[in-house]
Amino acid sequence: MKSKSAFYIVILILVLTGLGLGWLRHVNLDIPLVPGRTRPVWHIEARIDFVAEGEPVKVNLDLPGSPPGFAQVSQQAASTGYGFSIVDTSTGRRAEWTRREAHGDQTLYYKVQMTPEPDAGRESRVKPPPEPKTVFWDPLQATAAHQLEEQAWEKSSTPISFARELSKQLTASEPDQNASLLLSQYPLPELLMRLLNHAGIAARVSMGLELQDARRYQSLKPILEVFDQERWVPVDPQTGTHGLPENLLLWHRSGKSLLDVNGGTNSEIHFSMIRQTLPAMDLARLQFHDGGLSRLSLYSLPIEEQSVFKLLLLLPVGALIITFMRIVIGIRTSGTFMPVLIALSFLQTHLVQGIAAFVIIVTLGLMLRGYLSRLNLLMVARISTLIVLVIFLTSMISVIGYELGVNLGLTITFFPMIIIAWTIERMSILWEEEGSREVLIQGLGSLSVAVLAYLCMRMPIVRHLTFNFPEVHLILLAGILTMGQYTGYKLTELKRFGVMRNNG
Amino acid sequence: MWIFPLPLRRLGFLGMNRRNVAYISRYNSRGRYPLVDDKLKTKLQAEKFHLATPRLRGVIRYQYEIETFAGMVENLSGFAVKPSKGSGGKGILVIKERSGDLFVKSSGRSIDIHVVKRHLSNILAGLYSLAGTPDVAIIEDLIQPSEMFEKLSYEGVPDIRVIIFRGYPVMAMLRLSTRASDGKANLHKGAAGVGLDIATGRCLHAVQYSKRIFRHPDTGIDLNTIAIPDWKNLLELAARSYEITRLGYIGADLVVDKNAGPMLLELNARPGLSIQVANGAGLLPRLKKIEALDPDFSPRAKQRVEFAMKEF
């Protein structure tokens, strides 16, 4: 009994490892659990225009890095004649173009692909909490600011609600004179930022890009970020609502400036964007980073090997089905794993053609074998003869099929010839010894198991899971091992011993 | 007709999966399989332990030795040619007598020496062997069935299958070939299976094609009158096959010869389950009773048979 519980622990470990690894892969690498799922991808292009003055040029653009609500899929820079690099600085990620000498109008492109990802870029706590900036006002402004702050302070309880109250006052249809005074001197987002910092709450103005399909010449839109409970919370300066609006990509957050151009004038930056839907699988593959689980996947292999594995990794599914059909159901097949191999070849032909080809070859083979048995050959020679004949038959069927314009002929070559030769040999012996009935039973048994295995292996979800989540095979293994310990009756035994019903 | 698993379980029926996992793989050590899979080895081993078996007349190991076959059987009127590693009675050629140059099979058909030689060639090539591996052919004496048996069977010699578990005979059946089974003693081919009482060797219950019968379908003999002569000696012979193989779960096939009495024909490390249907009883309760015995207690075959005759 002790060994039995150890066995079940192993099974449990296999299943849990399979599920756990699969889940990790799903979460970390974004591999979808079901095939055919699509996800939106934003292609965003930043275009920088400036006039070069014939001096060394250095252009420096702040990049979004990993903005909240989005995951970066890939990025490219296109700008002929410029050196390009991406620099990680303490204040964020920046793109840098450099050139020894440039004249006239210059255009630089930076492209990035982003996919909405609700959980991505959720910031960890900012530590240490940023200090509110010191704000300088002239005396008149200071009084107005002070009064505005006091009114808002009364009606609020948290930094966020304080910001909301402030924005309400400033955007009212008839702002009071304090608000009007300040608004005449500062743009709204900056004013809010100043007021908040003045009141001792850290706030900053970030630049966000509103994502709308097929827009060109867009510019960044300022958005207020208020520091609350150890995190930066975006607040819309116009409405005072907090939280990140959908389709807003925070491009420029902290740090110095959005764009620095040395050696050029009249610099401008514009954004254009389109929305695309990509299969989630392709997206996941684009996003792969090195190391970790992605090392343990098959994508690192050359494409040709990958397609071999795609087929190979289906075999365990077939083996599981065979195990089930033979141990639990009790179907008799000719040759234990012959049905799986037949099912694999059905995958490459089509089901109807495959079955037709298989039945034709085996029937013709049996007829020829009937003649061979009269020749009194040694067994090895007989099977070798059979192999030659099977190959001969397939090529004949191919030629005839091709001439008749039936596709059946060409697909026939996928059959495992030697396995078929053996099947014919076994069935022929079976015929002589047990009669045609047994041949039919086993033949139909093999064929139906093959069809079942084929139908399973053809399911998109099965193909998807076996290839993209190789750890699924641990679960299959656990299933096979468990069935190996099955000591109950086979389904067919219930019929076989059915006569005992009256004795019971 | 189907039966639900629970009532089948209540009858103590052993299923194939359970047989394989709980009995065959637990009690039969793989290394000793060749001894029973190879009839020649079984025979030699049985002779070493003085167990009665049909007399060995010759062995053909290589294709070129087939030419010596005629000389080998020159003085025998009847004999049996068997593949040493055959299973399920496949490839056994029984020659009842000779008429001139021809050999008369048990079915009455006559064949010439070329057919026999081709048969030998097939055996050597491994056509009938378990894994298709090359085999040897053995030629042994024909069994002379006692009168009672001769009457019973349609063709061929009836044999007795005894399941031996850890040396104890637990269940037995008599297999009678019928017209439907073409002289073969395999139940699934239509032979009649007669369950035998371990205590007395008398008929308990009989089936053909899994249906209960009371008379032999061809000879019409009332099966209830069957009583195996020399029953205790036969069981003892079967039980001793445990000593020669040390395999815990085997099926011993025996025959009763008119002159020599019970003889061991062959052993099977994977005995079938139909014996339960023939007996109308399941194996499990009996196997459990034996399993409950202290494994260190290893009585002689005679005591084991007495124990079984008392208990089952």
Distant-in-sequence, close-in-space partners of A106: CB < 8 Å, separation ≥ 6? A49, A50, A51, A52, A57, A264
Give the residue from chain B lying closest to A375, CA to CA. Answer: B118
- A489 vs B5: CB contact, 8 Å cut-off? yes
Q: Which two tokens stand for residue A477?
A: 């293994």
Quote the crossing angle between the two packed helices B231-245 and B39-48, to the nearest 10°: 110
Q: What percent of chain A has pLDDT over 90?
A: 11
pLDDT at A448 over 70: yes
Provide the shortest C-alpha distance from residue A494 to chain B (in Å): 5
Provide the shortest C-alpha distance from residue B224 to chain A (in Å): 18
Provide the shortest C-alpha distance from residue B116 to chain A (in Å): 11
- Report angle CA A197, A202, A207 to the nearest 5 degrees: 95
Residues from chain B contacting residue A434 (CB–CB below 8 Å) = 189
Q: What letter would DSSP give residue A500?
A: G
pLDDT at A1 over 90: no
- Give SS3 for A277: strand
pLDDT at A504 over 60: no
Residues lower than pLDDT 50 in chain B: none
C-alpha A23: how far from chain center: 12
> Nearest-CA neighbor of B217 among B190, B252, B254?
B190
Distant-in-sequence, close-in-space partners of B16: CB < 8 Å, separation ≥ 6? A330, A490, A493, B273
Provide the shortest C-alpha distance from residue B300 to chain A (in Å): 30
pLDDT digits (tens, 9 = 90+) for A24-79: 888 877 778 888 777 788 888 888 888 888 888 888 888 887 777 888 777 888 77
Interface test with B, best of A425, A494, A495, A502 (most B CBs within 10 A): A494
Domain boundaries, chain A: 37-130+202-296, 306-495
Residue of A376, A379, A495 with shortest CB distance to B2: A495
Q: Which two tokens stand for residue A283?
A: 């997206």
The fourth-level CATH superfamily of domain B5-37+146-311 is ATP-grasp fold, B domain (3.30.470.20)
pLDDT given at position A2: 61
Residue type (1 letter), A74: S
Q: How far apart are CA B2 and CA B9, in angstroms?
A: 14
- Report angle CA A216, A37, A245 to the nearest 5 degrees: 45
Average pLDDT of chain A? 81
The four Cα atoms A26, A31, A36, A42 give a dihedral, to 10 degrees, of: 120
Provide the shortest C-alpha distance from residue B84 to chain A (in Å): 17
Domain boundaries, chain B: 5-37+146-311, 55-141
pLDDT digits (tens, 9 = 90+) for A108-131: 888 888 888 776 555 656 666 777
A17 close to A73: Cβ distance less than 8 angstroms: no
B230 close to B4: Cβ distance less than 8 angstroms: no
pLDDT at A287 over 70: no
Q: What percent of chain A has pLDDT over 70?
A: 91
- B3 vs A500: CB contact, 8 Å cut-off? yes
E strand or H helix that includes residue A126: none
pLDDT at A229 over 80: no
Provide the pLDDT confidence category of residue A290 given band limits of 50, 70 and 90.
low
Residues from chain B contacting residue A499 (CB–CB below 8 Å) = 1, 207, 210-212, 277
| CA dist B145 → A120, A284, B148, B255, B279 (Å) | 87, 78, 8, 8, 23
Which of A175-179, A296-300, B31-35, B152-156 comes out lowest in average pLDDT? Answer: A296-300
Cβ contacts from A onto B, under 8 A = 85
pLDDT digits (tens, 9 = 90+) for A233-264: 888 877 777 777 778 888 887 767 788 888 88
What are the φ/ψ torsions at residue B205 (nearest 5 degrees)?
-170, 145
Q: How far apart are CA A348 and CA A353, in angstroms?
A: 10
- B132 vs A379: CB contact, 8 Å cut-off? yes
Interface test with A, best of B3, B64, B113, B207 (most A CBs within 10 A): B3
Range A219-224 average pLDDT? 82
pLDDT given at position A409: 52
pLDDT digits (tens, 9 = 90+) for A331-355: 888 778 888 888 888 887 778 878 8
Q: How far apart are CA B137 and CA B58, in angstroms?
A: 8
HEC string of chain B? CCCCHHHHHHCCCCCHHHHHHHHHHHHCCHHHHHHHHCHHHHHHHHHHCCCCCCCEEEEECCHHHHHHHHHHCCCCCCEEEEECCECCCCCCEEEEEEECCEEEECCCCEECHHHHHHHHHHHHHCCCECCCCCCCEEEEECCCECHHHHHHCCCCCCEEEEEEECCEEEEEEEEECCCCCCCCCCHHHCCEEEEECCCCCEEEEEEECCEECCECCCCCCEHHHCECCCHHHHHHHHHHHHHHHCCCEEEEEEEEECCCEEEEEEEECCCCCHHHHHHCCCCHHHHHHHHCCCCCCCCCHHHHHHHHHHHC
Which of A155-164, A381-390, B31-40 comes out lowest in average pLDDT? Answer: A155-164
pTM score over 0.80: no
For A:397-436, CB contacts with B below 8 A are 429, 433-434
Residue with tokens 């059909």: A325
Provide the pLDDT confidence category of residue A325 given band limits of 50, 70 and 90.
very high
Which of A182-196, A260-274, A485-499, B76-90 comes out lowest in average pLDDT? Answer: A182-196
Which of A14-23, A281-290, B163-172, B181-190 comes out lowest in average pLDDT? Answer: A281-290
- Give SS3 for A357: helix
- Report angle CA A500, B2, B4 to the nearest 5 degrees: 80
pLDDT at A301 over 90: no
Residue with tokens 């047989």: B19
Residues from chain A contacting residue B23 (CB–CB below 8 Å) = none
Q: How far apart are CA A426 and CA A347, in angstroms?
A: 24
E strand or H helix that includes residue A47: strand A38-53
Q: Which two tokens stand for residue A33?
A: 């659990």
- Any B CB within 8 A of A488 CB: yes
Provide the shortest C-alpha distance from residue A367 to chain B (in Å): 19
Q: What letter would DSSP give residue A250?
A: E
pLDDT at A408 over 70: no
pLDDT given at position B252: 94
Residues from chain B contacting residue A503 (CB–CB below 8 Å) = 11, 280
pLDDT given at position A404: 78
